[in-house]
Structure 1
Amino acid sequence: MIRLTIDGQIIETPEGSTVLEAARNAGVRIPTLCHLADLTPEGACRVCVVEVEGARGLVTACTYPASAGLVVRTNSAAIREARKSVIELMLANHPQDCLSCQRNLDCELQTLANNLGIREIRFTGERREYAVDDSNPFIIRDNNKCILCGRCVRVCQQVQCCDVLEWTNRGFDTKIAPAFDVPMPESSCVFCGTCVSACPVGALTEKPMRHAGLPDKKVKTTCPFCGVGCNFDLNVKDDKVIGVTSNLTSAVNGRLTCVKGRFGIDYVHSPERLTTPLIKKDGDFVAATWDEALDLITARFAAIKNAHGGDALAALSSARCVNEENYLMQKFMRAVIGTNNIDHCART
């Protein structure tokens, strides 16, 4: 452990920490836009600048290494003015359509602007203009709203390991896009949506949640599509699921989801979804209660077993079930039915 001083407070932090990590461990808030705890620091946004005694000018807290005896100030007048100027420059080249933006009231740039008391844009000049890429059913990519923080690039490289997004062009024309700036479906994107979970603004958004508004609540749940057991948040509005967002507290998957988990929830409210058991009578399926369905299954299983023995029955379990459910299925077949005829769809 090393000791340093932040805003007059002597704190201890593990050796190898950055100033930002040391400050957050001590409960000192330093605003950021490009930083995420599970990604390597980049110092792209310059919002986390602080004063360090002996350093030349302001330094970025997310990249500056903490060392013994360091004296840091995080909230002086010069720092606040520098942060304000950085945000104003971002807003000068950012669409002013907050009220209609999908990330309204859930936008980190908007929050920082409010916290810094920015009410008008002082800077004017040429604006970037890009076509919006909504050529796929899952993700809308609007480079006009991109603040070039690089979160999506790093999360695609370091978390999902797909390397789909990258910096392209230079200077004023710099933007983030797939290789050769092709539409998303023509790239190697797997549409996991991890980049969307990392974006601090409305540059990357979930297409199914467009025009849905803010959720009334978020409900943590387990993905039903396979046995991995990923956790995520169901965004619920008016008792209807409007989308899925990452739950960063999940020890299983963190911000990661697959395309099914993040975008495959439309079946929940599908009119074709079965919501009650069906029993075939006179060639047609008719609705039944669970008691009726289970009684029928029990009677049919017993009749087959009594007439032909347990080996006349077999079961196939699914990778969409959790481990405990698959265990119960094989236990049922072996202990109740009396057969080893149990297989699994993922067996190779």
Structure 2
Amino acid sequence: MQYTIEIDQELCTGCQRCTNVCPVGAIGGPEGMPVDINYDKCCFCGQCVQICSAYQEYKSETTKPREIKMQERGLLDNVKEPLFAAHNMGHVQQVWQALNDPDVVTMVQCAPAVRVGLAEDFGMESGELVAGKMITALRKLGFDKVYDTNFTADLTIMEEGSELIKRIQENGVLPMFTSCCPAWVKYVEQEHYDLQANLSSCKSPQQMAGALFKTYGAQVDKIDPKKIVSVSVMPCTAKKFEAARPEMKASGFQDVDLVLTTRELANLIKYAGIDFKHLEAGKPDSVLGNYTGAGHIFGVTGGVMEAALRTGYELITGKPIDDVNILEVRHSQGVKRATIQVGDLTIKTVVVAGLANVEPVLEQIKNGTADFQFVEVMACPQGCISGGGQPKVLLETERTDVYAKRMDSMYKHDEELPLRKSHENPEVAKLYKDFLGKPLGHKSHELLHTHYVRRG
């Protein structure tokens, strides 16, 4: 059986780096011996993949042949970099096949953090924003429709923000947890299922986009949804697990068929012989491609919280927020708490960066001492910009600097965009008018919300 994350026993040296970085204690074994993953605990965040430094050299003959390992890992045969012991299973071979199949229509979405990480795999500056080049590359690869996960990040805020307001006003289950991070969701299902009702019922932006590709998108583009292959490009290895969840089929089809990591997309671009550095900037297709700064900052820890508060403030008060830069929820190092005044309503928030830091917060809820209403949790230490699928940062001395540059780039792009609040996205408004009806309405509930299952 193949899992989202695996550790190659032939290559693992037992250095314990992955054991030490795993936020849920899922990796173990004697020092100096190959380690194992306990899949009842693993949340597929991929931090082990990021930190692993045990590898097979390009021409090594001491283990199973490299070509066979690449095939087993789902990699294309042009990969030149070392094969590391801890790795995620790839979908890039299947995506390449779909792109060359004349009988299917390929639709692609890219998460916000991808565009501040992708440049690094082409020797460009860490954190450089390459959104336009990325879109052009996707078109050159042959994707029929190039949409954007940032669009459904805005849509997520409309649904999740409305859900939070409804819970507060109607004495629903509080505090409400964000549900964008699939590793965090899996952790709740495995370790704290008694708190599953605290999770927002919203699907993640990836899954919302997939559901819309095969319903609204198919309708607008006049395409038979049976022919659509829905592809996402994510900074996150756990997104592969999320896409395969059986409940993610509200449209009658699997929301997302194939998930590429940022590294896999770089691999694919190189395989196709595209000169990424010198591409002109392109724009995503309309209908499911326009986005605001709020949707973009989903890629950093505190970003979902800030985006929700920007919109929540105006939905509750009916007045423009004084300053869209809500600094109180930014740059969490572990756990950051803030109290935000929204008209007459006081909202207490918690932002958790890294699953290793969440237990004390959950304990407060269980023992009845929690006084907060809204909790954002990201499994990875700096949010999605530090996800398991991002370009590897092998030197610990460089990691802090690289993550800081990616984060700065995210906020800089937010500042530059003409619209910075999700409810101001005109394409989101059109989607509700033409198709969904209203946030938390029947159609939205059917396509954009989900349920959770007990695991472990």
Q: Same fold, TM exceeding 0.5? A: no
TM-score (norm 1): 0.28
TM-score (norm 2): 0.22
Greater radius of gyration (CA): 1
Larger relative contact order (Cα-Cα within 8 Å, sequence gap ≥ 6): 2
Higher fraction of helix: 2
Higher fraction of strand: 1
